[in-house]
Structure 1
Amino acid sequence: MSVHKIEHIGIRVSVLEDSIEFYKRVLGLKLLYTIGEVGEDLRLAFLSFPGQESVEIELVYIKDAPELASEGRVNHLAFTVSYIDREYARIAELGLSGRDPEIRSLPNGNRFFFFNGPDGERIEFFEPARIS
């Protein structure tokens, strides 16, 4: 198994800029980077505590997405992995539900896939482009 650490916690938000400002002002997080431009259907922002960039908060904006129940705004739990192709095959062999049909990529080279935990919670295996 090549699971290393908690990568990030994904939180669904309704207005990305407002949420970025909130997490910076109230929690002291710093904005690391964003993916997607204003007006796009999917936009992401990654924040962390200064000096503690090993675990991130990912703010997820999805245009016209159905509203979630208040207890469902934490969208997923992500773990850093190496050799994501091997991990994808291992999860497939375990027969876990909700596995994405393929490994997906972000424009910055990060690769990821989702599957379900025992109670339907979404788990993401995430291979940052910076990890070989």
Structure 2
Amino acid sequence: MISKMEHTAIIVSDMDRSIEFYTKILGFNIRLRGDNPNRELAFLYLESQPDMEIEPIRDINPVGEYAACGIVNHLAFTVEDIALAIHHFKEIGIHFTSGEPKPTLEGGRMILFYGPDRELLQLVERVKS
């Protein structure tokens, strides 16, 4: 069902400072940067491992428990078909934090759920090219 590790999200207080640190000091590249009414975010990758990303998130208007989940906010996993994945995981007892997937910045879909120790986990269906 899960095809790969997707990204790790990190809550940051200053997006420009964080991007400068990850790009200039650690050598990451920016794949995508944008915002929505609630948060500013980016996706950073290493040339040698482009399929695993870091997602810095700066809350503009914090929404619920999302921002309160710690500096390392969530682990994300890629799925090919999010509807099928949701159905599969619901059948084995997973409860999602929302009734429907939400859109991602790049036009895909995502949904959140908790692991056994209340770690925040996310399923992501990327835009099909």
When normalised by structure 1's length, the TM-score is 0.84
CA RMSD after TM alignment: 2.1
Residue aligning to 1:111: 109
Given the superposition, is the C-alpha separation of residues 44 and 6 from structure 1 closer, same or farther in structure 2, using an over 3 Å criterion?
same
CA drift of 1:18 comes to: 1.0
- Match of 2:99, as an amino acid? P
Q: Distance in 2 between matches of 1:114 and 1:68?
A: 14
1:123 is the counterpart of 2:121: yes
CA drift of 1:68 comes to: 5.0
CA contact (8 A) 2:39 2:59 kept: yes
Question: Where does the alignment leave 5 or more consecutive residues of structure 1 unmatched?
Answer: none
State percent identity of aligned pairs: 33
CA contact (8 A) 1:92 1:99 kept: no
Question: Where does the alignment leave 5 or more consecutive residues of structure 2 unmatched?
Answer: none
When normalised by structure 2's length, the TM-score is 0.86
CA drift of 1:130 comes to: 3.2
Residue aligning to 1:17: 16
Q: Kindly tell me the number of residue pairs found equivalent between the two proteins.
A: 126
The runs of at least 4 aligned residues of structure 1 exceeding 6 Å deviation read none
1:44 is the counterpart of 2:41: yes
1:61 is the counterpart of 2:62: no
Structure 1 range deviating more: 87-96 or 57-66: 57-66
